[in-house]
């Protein structure tokens, strides 16, 4: 009977949380959807006086640079996510599973980019990137986006490996499995929720970067956030709303796909206090 009451309380709590997400996230998008298809919408009218597809025709026009900017954002975010996984998984394993000297100092160094204001870090990095010929390049923007994303990936994986039991790997090896087979059959399925969680944060952080992109990219590497900020200051609410919808779509898709890994019961979100 007590378990039934606990389940009912949990369901009520989940419903309240879901309702809060709908109210706080979904409802504010509705005016943007209306604006994106409006021709004229003056206060205090509840609905636009006329509808138009002007914004979407502009976006579909290759000369508008929206499609190329979206492509640049996708290439950068996917590349940053992949590199963050390659670096964050072994780094998280070292921090989560092993005890060694100066571990606290190393953790502080890894997390420092997320503590120090990005503008302060980027101004110093810009001088280095200019001397190395990486400024105003797509590759340079990818590298600078790693500064805020790798800490999130590392912390996520450290939380996973803090709860990881290497005995399963030892059992697999004792049964004749090699290192590669053990990794794909034992290790990877176990740490996969953490990889998904960390990759989600890495992608979203890179996808929404503005300051790092504008400083290192020098205005030559055009991404969707740069265009969105530019049109937001122009006063064209119709076009700005249409760009906002495109900007939000990957975030919504990723959150829906990875939602099951974001619960407290997932190993991807557990163990942060045990690092």
pLDDT tens figures, 162-194:
888 888 888 888 888 888 888 888 888 888 888
| Ranges of the chain whose pLDDT falls below 70 | 1-8, 14, 18, 21-22, 24-25, 40-47, 50, 118, 260-275
Distance CA 273, CA 43 (A): 50
Q: Which are the contacts of 107, defined by CB distance < 8 A and separation ≥ 6?
A: 95, 275
Quick one: pLDDT at residue 271?
44
Long-range contacts of 39-42 (CB under 8 A, 24+ apart): 39/238, 41/237
Quick one: pLDDT at residue 155?
85
Exposure b/e, 89-123, CB count within 10 A at least 16 = b: bebbbbbbeeeeeeeeeebeebeebeeeebeebbe
Quick one: pLDDT at residue 203?
93
User: Can you tell me whether residue 13 is helix, strand or coil?
Assistant: helix
- 58-274: CATH topology is MetI-like fold (1.10.3720)
Q: Decide: 159 and 269 in contact? Cβ < 8 Å.
A: yes
| Ranges of CATH 1.10.3720.10 domains, the chain | 58-274
Cα torsion through 39, 42, 48, 51, rounded to 10: -10
Distance CA 231, CA 209 (A): 16
Q: How many CA atoms lie within 13 A of 242 on its CB side?
A: 19
Hey, which residues does 52 pair with through a beta bridge?
none
Crossing angle of the two packed helices 188-207 and 237-258, in degrees rounded to 10 = 170
């Amino acid at each position: 009977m007590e378990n039934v009451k606990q389940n009912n309380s949990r369901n009520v709590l989940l419903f309240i949380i879901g309702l809060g997400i709908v109210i706080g996230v979904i409802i504010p998008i509705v005016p943007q959807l209306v604006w994106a298809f409006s021709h004229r919408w003056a206060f205090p009218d509840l609905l636009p006086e006329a509808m138009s597809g002007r914004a979407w025709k502009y976006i579909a026009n290759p000369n508008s640079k929206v499609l190329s900017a979206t492509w640049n954002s996708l290439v950068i975010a996917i590349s940053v996510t992949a590199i963050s996984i390659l670096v964050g998984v072994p780094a998280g394993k070292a921090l989560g599973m092993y005890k060694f000297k100066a571990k606290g100092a190393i953790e502080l160094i890894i997390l420092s980019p997320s503590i120090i204001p990005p503008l302060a870090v980027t101004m110093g990095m810009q001088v280095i990137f200019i001397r190395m010929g990486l400024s105003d390049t797509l590759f340079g923007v990818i590298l600078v986006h790693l500064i805020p994303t790798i800490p999130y990936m590392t912390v996520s994986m450290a939380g996973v490996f803090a709860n990881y039991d290497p005995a399963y790997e030892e059992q697999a090896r004792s049964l004749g499995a090699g290192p590669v087979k053990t990794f794909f059959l034992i290790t990877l399925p176990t740490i996969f929720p953490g990889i998904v969680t960390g990759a989600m944060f890495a992608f979203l952080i890179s996808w929404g970067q503005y300051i790092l992109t504008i400083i290192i990219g020098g205005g030559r590497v055009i991404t969707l956030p740069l265009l969105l900020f530019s049109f937001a200051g122009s006063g064209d609410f119709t076009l700005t709303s249409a760009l906002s919808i495109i900007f939000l779509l990957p975030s919504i898709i990723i959150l829906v796909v990875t939602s099951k890994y974001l619960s407290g019961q997932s190993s991807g979100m557990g163990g942060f206090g045990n690092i």
